[in-house]
Structure 1
Amino acid sequence: MIKIANAPCSWGALEFDLEEKSEEIGFEQVLDEIKETGYIGTELGDWGYMPTDPGLLRKEIEKRGLELLGAFVPVDLADGDTHEAGVDTALKVAQLMYRAGYKNAFIVLADDNGSVPNRTQYAGRITPEMGLSEKQWKVYAAGAEKVAKVVKEKYGLRTVFHHHCAGYVETPQEIDTLMALTNPELLGLCLDMGHYAFGGGNPIDAIMKYSDRIWHVHFKDYDPEAARLSRQENGDYFDALKKGVFCELGKGMVDFNAIVKLLNDKGYGDWIVVEQDILPGMGEPKKCAQSNRDYIRTLGL
């Protein structure tokens, strides 16, 4: 049975090192509003955003009747020298979730998005020459597998890779390369509908291609007009966010009706996480969360 969650990034709590961090909404309010708007689960958010004591974390999640289903872990996978630190970070997060009792949660592994200038500047319009070399791809894939292997061996948690604009795995072709270079029994795919569309693809194609490897799903919509306006001004990834490139569900170009039908046909029965990424201080997150939940109900979920 598909279950619907939301995540702190929908309230502007992002992993990036931004000047706007001071405007982040506290985790207590975020968890309250996730519950109040009809969701039954959450992701952890950036390390330290929620309590890092397992007992306290469990208490905060449980008292709202929610589940904790995963945590986003960014690692600079293209640099082999950072892999050990990435493993340590993933183990720290996995240990927290495991000791808090969330033994079915995922490590949602991603690139250190937003850290490479040209990938950040040209998000949504990446060309092949901006990508990794064959040698770099081998380093990248080895790092992803290493994180997944150690986390699984130590805590039994599975790892999914989250493709993401402003990182080295953004386009459908880059996702294909990473999937081809990694063990399908070790590393799953977190399919994010909005990032896939922003990266130049149709999420339906990804579901058809990787249905057995999609272990985790993010629902995010994509507004091509906002992307066009950002490109017109030579805006980077963060400019596109400010312009609302990830709009409310049902207001962009992603065909969620077809996606839900296909996920059901393929037998997907796990979590769908709404992630309407915004920058701290933007908009009215609770209203958007409610609108997104109401829209998902029209899809039969």
Structure 2
Amino acid sequence: MSVRIGINPLTWTNDDLPTLGAETSLETCLTEGKQAGFSGFELGQKFPRTPEVLGPILKAHGLDLVSGWFSGELLTRSVEEEIEAIKPHLHLLKSLGAKAMVYCEVTGCIHGQIETPLSHRPIISEEKIAEMSKKLTQVADYCLSEGVQIAYHHHMGTVIESQHEVDLLMKHTGPSVGLLLDTGHMTFAGGNPLEVQAKHADRIIHVHCKDLRPEILKDAKNRDISFLNAMLNGVFTVPGDGFIDYSSLFKQLKASNYSGWLVVEAEQDPAVAHPLTYATMGANNLKALCAESGIDIVQ
């Protein structure tokens, strides 16, 4: 088995709070990401969205396109409407060689609302999850027929946040729907990423690696603050700089023969957490964890 290591541009510029890193250019993101030791990037707000423009930019930096976020709305859209909405994004990913699409149902989501406590996030019944899952499977079947697999991103502030909700989503979706394991979001939600990996190893096709600072997490939960305010307070950091048991997780990934991207996605305020410093730390820690677990990294 082998993996590749990539990074999300949230380290430099934030999509949910665009004022963070607003002055940082795409050139800086890509140059520093490559310098830190990564071989690919996920999409962000400053990336061109046509393969004819983005492809040469990435190639000039010796980088590949890892994946990119799509905001799903299957709770309010039909399968046909969702497929039409997803086609341009799918075309970009497919054209530039990305094999996974980061997908999240965002109907009613509150993670981008800085004044809304996380306790106000939308919660839906298992029946609704099952209905959404049936439609999601049809959309995923279409994407997979085009060579790109949906990797569902459980996310704070959305309808699929908790470990139980992930279990329900996996129960009601077909195998064309892959799972994105986000260690930071699962831990923030009160779940256990080791248990999720063990239970759904055959569905995990993408991994987001972020860590958590325990005292800031405890404060965020005690005061029931918003997702963005928790981020601004520094709840997230790169893997190996918090309390998540990455050593055990990587051993499990090795045992399950995971083969895909390991992506540092650790949003922080770039004015506080120097992007190149933390990107380099994240890359070095991923490399050390892979070496310890016997996971081969390819460029």
TM-score by length of 1: 0.87
* Corresponding residue number in structure 1 for 2:84: 88
CA distance, structure 1, for counterparts of residue 195 and residue 277 of structure 2 = 31
Q: Choose the corresponding residue for 2:167, options 162, 176, 201.
A: 176
- Measure how far apart 1:71 and its partner are: 1.1
CA distance, structure 2, for counterparts of residue 45 and residue 90 of structure 1 = 16
CA distance, structure 2, for counterparts of residue 113 and residue 4 of structure 1 = 31
- Measure how far apart 1:4 and its partner are: 0.8
Quick check: 2:109–2:159 contact (8 Å CA) kept in 1?
A: no
Quick check: 2:180–2:205 contact (8 Å CA) kept in 1?
A: yes
* Corresponding residue number in structure 2 for 1:219: 209
Q: Quick one: which amino acid aligns to residue 89 of structure 2?
A: V
CA distance, structure 2, for counterparts of residue 13 and residue 19 of structure 1 = 5
Alignment map for 1:1-301 (pairs within 5 Å): 1-14=2-15, 16=16, 18=17, 20=19, 23=22, 25-46=24-45, 49-79=46-76, 81=77, 84-100=80-96, 102=97, 104-112=98-106, 115-116=109-110, 121-123=116-118, 131-153=123-145, 155-184=146-175, 186-278=176-268, 283-299=273-289, 300=291
Q: Quick one: which amino acid aligns to residue 147 of structure 1?
A: V
- Measure how far apart 1:280 and its partner are: 6.7
Q: Quick one: which amino acid aligns to residue 270 of structure 1?
A: G
CA distance, structure 1, for counterparts of residue 40 and residue 71 of structure 2 = 21
Q: Relative to 1, partners in 2 of residues 1:114 and 1:283: Cα closer, same or farther, differing over 3 Å?
A: farther
- Identify unmatched segments of 5+ residues in structure 1: none
* Corresponding residue number in structure 1 for 2:294: none
Of stretches 269-278 and 170-179 in structure 1, the one that deviates more from structure 2 is 269-278
Q: Quick one: which amino acid aligns to residue 109 of structure 2?
A: S
- Identify unmatched segments of 5+ residues in structure 2: 292-296
Percent identity between the two aligned chains: 28
Q: Quick one: which amino acid aligns to residue 153 of structure 2?
A: H
Quick check: 1:72–1:107 contact (8 Å CA) kept in 2?
A: yes
CA distance, structure 2, for counterparts of residue 159 and residue 92 of structure 1 = 15
The CA RMSD over aligned residues, in Å, is: 2.6
CA distance, structure 2, for counterparts of residue 39 and residue 83 of structure 1 = 36
CA distance, structure 1, for counterparts of residue 63 and residue 7 of structure 2 = 10
CA distance, structure 2, for counterparts of residue 142 and residue 277 of structure 1 = 32
Q: Quick one: which amino acid aligns to residue 64 of structure 1?
A: H
CA distance, structure 2, for counterparts of residue 70 and residue 10 of structure 1 = 16
Q: Quick one: which amino acid aligns to residue 146 of structure 1?
A: Q
Q: Relative to 1, partners in 2 of residues 1:85 and 1:200: Cα closer, same or farther, differing over 3 Å?
A: same
Aligned residue pair count: 289
TM-score by length of 2: 0.87
Q: Relative to 1, partners in 2 of residues 1:26 and 1:139: Cα closer, same or farther, differing over 3 Å?
A: farther
- Measure how far apart 1:37 and its partner are: 0.4
Q: Quick one: which amino acid aligns to residue 3 of structure 1?
A: R
CA distance, structure 2, for counterparts of residue 114 and residue 11 of structure 1 = 27
Quick check: 1:12–1:281 contact (8 Å CA) kept in 2?
A: no
Q: Deviations over 1:234-282 (max 9, x none)?
A: 3111111111111232222211111111111111122101101235755
CA distance, structure 2, for counterparts of residue 75 and residue 287 of structure 1 = 33
Quick check: 1:78–1:137 contact (8 Å CA) kept in 2?
A: no
